[in-house]
Amino acid sequence: MYKPTLDYAQQLDKEDKLAHLRAQFHIPKDKEGNDWLYFTGNSLGLQPKQTQQYIQQELDDWAKYGVEGHFEARNPWMPYHEFLTNSMAKIVGAKPLEVVVMNTLTTNLHLLMVSFYQPTKTKYKIVIESDAFPSDRYAVQSQLKFHGFDAEDGLIEWKPREGEELLRIEDLEKIVDEQGDEIALLLIGGVNYYTGQYLDIKRIVEIGHAKNCMVGIDLAHGAGNISPELHDSGVDFAAWCTYKYLNSGPGSLAGLFVHEKHAHNKELPRFAGWWNHNKETRFNMRQPFDVMPGAEGWQLSNPPILSMAAIRASLDMFEEVGMEALRAKSEKLTGYFEYLINQIDTDGIKIITPSNPKERGCQLSIQVKNADKSLHKKLTENNIITDWREPDVIRCAPVPMYNSFEDVYRMVEKLKELL
Ligand SMILES: *Cc1c(COP(=O)(O)O)cnc(C)c1O
């Protein structure tokens, strides 16, 4: 159905109902003023043009009102995080009560583990994917040690089989079947950062809960990329950053999800600060701690408004477009990308991301034979921005918000030439 020609790619762009969004982003350019071919929205999303004005609004109100801006600003800072909640909840398939924007991803994982990793002497192990993002691995290892366990003994890795790159759900089932009595927590990346594999979150939750294990999902590569339906999955908790597919700027704040079934449990162990204390009495200052229901009950501090303004600028775009339309374009765009790569007559590269669109987001991970990093370097020299991950993978993410079918076509033409 697809065709490997520039005309055809341009035709797809003409038919694309989301094509106008590209002009609403700053696309980095080379010295001659040509747009870079930017395929690293999975690492740092591009800047929406309206972000500047959203941040400027808060700078202006800070200049104008000082501390009174908490109530007098056009978007009062006191409830500012609440302006993000509904849009963010829609993006991850949650109820507003279940979601809050705060802190950064790894910090949120730790705060969530304070509540949901409650090991006993015999049930204390944690399952992660063998290719988990290093920060997640370090976080769970340090949690194990913090509770007095051996980080090696306490960590169980869900690995691909010998000679394979992708994870099989039945292998997780086997681990939990056999060792479930010793496992306290499953912490799994919903979309694996390395292979781009989108795992069946609902199934993971069923497997974990069948053996009374808590289940948490890291959605760093899922939020704004796939539609995870967190509430319906029954997952206990989740966290994600907003600087990847959610285009909110370097180091921007993260999202946190706690399932409704835990929303009113005041007995859960957790760390406290004035921002998870009851809003009604927060400023009486002398009240005993009274935790808020829902995800807001995990906040600690009053949040950085300038970063939240950038998130708001981006979420307003997601709100306007909707995940459904984005996902539809994404499947087509990545499908075209895959088709073009498969047309290349070489055994020097191989796509390791699942070919089933339901088992991936927009990213394709291309394995390079004999781990030749020079290919990645040459792509970069040609203003094609991709991401190299040891030992042998180039990750490319055509992002439906701003990448075009022509981007994908030109990228693969260059790749062909370089091979
Ligand atoms: C990007 C990413 C991180 C980064 O964590 P920060 O706390 O935001 O620095 C962690 N885990 C995963 C799976 C990621 O993809």
Question: Taking Cα atoms as reference points, which of 10, 402, 379, 365 lies closest to residue 195?
Answer: 365
Of 205, 238, 240, give the one whose Cα is nearest residue 223: 240
pLDDT value of position 401: 98
Phi, psi dihedral angles at 197 (to 5 degrees): -70, 125
Please report the pLDDT score of residue 288 as a whole number: 86
Atom of ligand 1 nearest to the CA of 105: 7
If you take atom 8 of ligand 1, which residue's CA is the nearest one?
105
Q: Is the CB of 127 under 6 A from ligand 1?
A: no
Mutation test residue for ligand 1: of 42, 106, 217, 253, the one with most atoms within 8 Å of CB: 106
Q: Is 261 exposed, middle or buried (0-12, 13-18, 19+ CB in 10 A)?
A: exposed
pLDDT digits (tens, 9 = 90+) for 50-84: 999 999 999 999 999 999 999 999 999 999 999 99
Report whether residue 135 contacts ligand 1, using a CB cutoff of 6 Å.
Answer: yes
What's the CA-to-centroid distance between 202 and ligand 1, angstroms? 22
- Are 259 and 286 in contact, with CB atoms under 8 Å apart? no
Task: Quote the pLDDT of residue 284.
Answer: 83
Between the CA of 243 and the centroid of ligand 1 the distance, in Å, is 10
Residues of the chain falling short of pLDDT 70? none
Question: What number of other Cβ atoms are within 10 A of residue 210's Cβ?
Answer: 12
Side chain identity, residue 324: E
How confident is the model at residue 219, as a pLDDT?
98
**Pairing state between β 393-396 and 364-368:** antiparallel
What's the start-to-end Cα distance of the chain, in Å?
25
Beta bridge partners of 189: 218
The first and second tokens of residue 271, run together, are 């760390």
Binding site membership of 241 for ligand 1 (Cβ less than 6 Å): yes
Q: What predicted TM-score, i.e. pTM, was given to this entire model?
A: 0.97
- pLDDT value, residue 370: 81
Atom 15 of ligand 1, nearest CA residue? 220
In 147-303, which ranges are continuous DSSP H helix?
151-154, 169-179, 201-210, 230-233
